[in-house]
Amino acid sequence: MTTTSPRAVIGNLCLGSAPDSWGVWFPEDEHQVHYTRFLDELVEAGYEWLELGPYGYLPTDPRQLTEEVGSRGLRVSGGTTFGALHRPDKWEEMLAHTRKVAELTAATGAHHLVYIPPQYRDEKTGEYTESPELSARQWAEFGARASELGKILLEEYDVRLCLHPHADSHILTQQEIERYLDESDSRYANLCLDTGHVAYGRGDAVQLIRDYAERIGYVHIKQMDPDVLAQVYAEELSFGEAVKRGVCVEPPAGVPDPAAIVTELSTVDAEVFVVVEQDLYPCSPETPLPIAVRTREYLGGRGLSETRRPNGGAKV
């Protein structure tokens, strides 16, 4: 009997996971597992790195969070926040909240803040809450606001802004992602490349890596079921409804091909966190762990490793 040897570890990539892969979308929700179960199962699944997820799901006291994470041998790859850069009247409120998340992120030793634009449809009901199109004036302000926020985060917290394209948001399609990157300052505003959401918007994640490699230091690796994506466009489904129908699938199922993503990322002249995200909300408490184990094993076979650097430092 012969077996296939695992692929050599790709030195510039480091694998992690996130609360999203345990069905966590909100700071508090009756359908979500308690954070201690998430952390325990993350370790059981074989991960060392985690993203913090929605602010308030994990402890927001830096000492408590550090203890919860460190006692399990875990480390933090980055923080997560939500905000609207196209709403000038919400700037001060958004900035105050983002500062809290950046402070907590920095306290854990992490240097990336995943910034998710708001959805224009309600996450639970699917109702439209604003226009799906930005005006010319809103687009003109978007890049400048992203650059300003990124400058604050980098200079005051040593945390890099990584804007995350998202379904039912104004930054999703290839054109929208490229417009954001072209209109913002590369020193301060970068990209969290979510491969699944790019596919959801009918974009090409491999081409984005090729064209904007210097702007990508953080990746969410995710696959979408093409049959459910067809339903999304045919029936104008909200992202919440698409998730309920199983649009997010574990590798190697779905699009884009995770092996192609990993291969392209291996050519990037930078060290990159690759964080697993499979939207599962809502799901039974028993669902996430087996999926997390299989996903880690599959991606490990493609050369992704959770191993820390010898000096204990972060990969990126």
Are the CB atoms for 84 and 171 separated by under 8 Å? no
Are the CB atoms for 277 and 194 separated by under 8 Å? yes
Are the CB atoms for 283 and 23 separated by under 8 Å? yes
| Homologous superfamily (CATH) for 13-301 | Divalent-metal-dependent TIM barrel enzymes (3.20.20.150)
Are the CB atoms for 138 and 187 separated by under 8 Å? no
Domain ranges of the chain: 13-301
What's the whole-model pTM score? 0.93
pLDDT at 309: 44
pLDDT at 310: 32
pLDDT at 90: 93
Which residues, 6+ apart, have CB-to-CB distance to 84 below 8 Å?
Answer: 90, 94, 117, 118
Whole-angstrom distance, CA of residue 111 vs CA of residue 98: 14
pLDDT at 314: 38
33-67 pLDDT, tens digit per residue, is 999 999 999 999 999 999 999 999 999 999 999 99
Q: What is the mean pLDDT of each run of 10 residues along the chain (316 residues)?
A: 51 95 96 98 97 98 98 98 93 97 98 96 92 90 95 98 97 96 95 98 98 95 98 96 95 95 94 95 96 96 72 36
pLDDT at 265: 96
pLDDT at 8: 67
- Coil, helix or strand at residue 178: helix
Backbone angles phi, psi at 81, to 5 degrees: -150, 165
pLDDT at 222: 96
What Rg value do the Cα atoms of the chain yield, rounded? 18
